Chains A and B, each alone.
Chain A
Amino acid sequence: EVQLVQSEAEVREPGESLKISCKGSGYNFATYWIGWVRQMPGKGLEWMGVIYPGDSDTRYNPSFQGQVTISVDRSINTAFLQWISLKASDTAMYFCARQSPAYYKASDYWGRGTLVTVSS
């Protein structure tokens, strides 16, 4: 069974760093792009960027370039989303999702989301 298991909710203060994770299982992790999606409270979905675990090729949407870092550790089938210095506006739910080439890169499996709260 394909699963994407995300790390638990986090609470941080502005200026702190954070790294959240998404662990894939039940499929060949190296051969599917993994994407990160932001959903701010009461708002829509925003596709932040994607990474290909096979070679760590990473693409960011312009709004998120330089704001976050997407990485992967193939040895533990896990993708990461990282902030160096959080802002209150980073408060959101963050989902990871697998892109399926069989589905024209649509996302057939999703994690349950990690809620990040940034508040002083």
Chain B
Amino acid sequence: EIVLTQSPATLSLSPGERVTLSCRASQRLSGSYLAWYQQKPGQAPRLLIYGASSGATGIPDRFSGSGSETDFTLTISSLEPEDFAVYYCQQTATSPGTFGQGTKVEIK
């Protein structure tokens, strides 16, 4: 089973700041089977990034993804108030796939 480790567990930031979240895989991921999701309290997750670096439909340009093999990054260029949430990475290189444990981005 591929284990995904996200860091940090929590980030305390102010609106307008740049955010970089990390996701490290225990094994090399084939292709680009790495996705990022945002989840707000009481809501289902929302797909942000797929294929490690492609934005899903309707996702603002301030969200971007990068990385390959075992190291992946989600960047939010300038935090908006609605971006305070929990972010999860997910690998789908294996079936059924696994999630990281999440990074909470909270208001400082």
Q: A62 to B39, alpha carbons, bound, how many Å?
A: 25
B: contact size bracket: 20 to 34
Binary contact readout B89-108 vs A (1 if CB under 8 angstroms, 0 otherwise): 01010011111111000000
Q: Is B19 an interface residue (CB 8 A)?
A: no
Q: A33 to B46, alpha carbons, bound, how many Å?
A: 17
Tell me the smallest distance from the CB of B9 to a CB of chain A, in Å.
Answer: 10
With A61-B98, A104-B31 given, is the CB distance from A45 to B47 under 8 Å? no
Give every chain A residue within 8 A of B84 (Cβ-Cβ): none
Q: A110 to B95, alpha carbons, bound, how many Å?
A: 18
Tell me the smallest distance from the CB of B32 to a CB of chain A, in Å.
Answer: 6
Give every chain B residue within 8 A of A48 (Cβ-Cβ): 96
With A47-B90, A47-B96 given, is the CB distance from A104 to B50 under 8 Å? yes
Q: Which residues of B contact A (CB under 8 A)?
A: 1, 31-35, 37, 39, 44-47, 50-51, 54, 56-57, 86, 88, 90, 92, 95-102
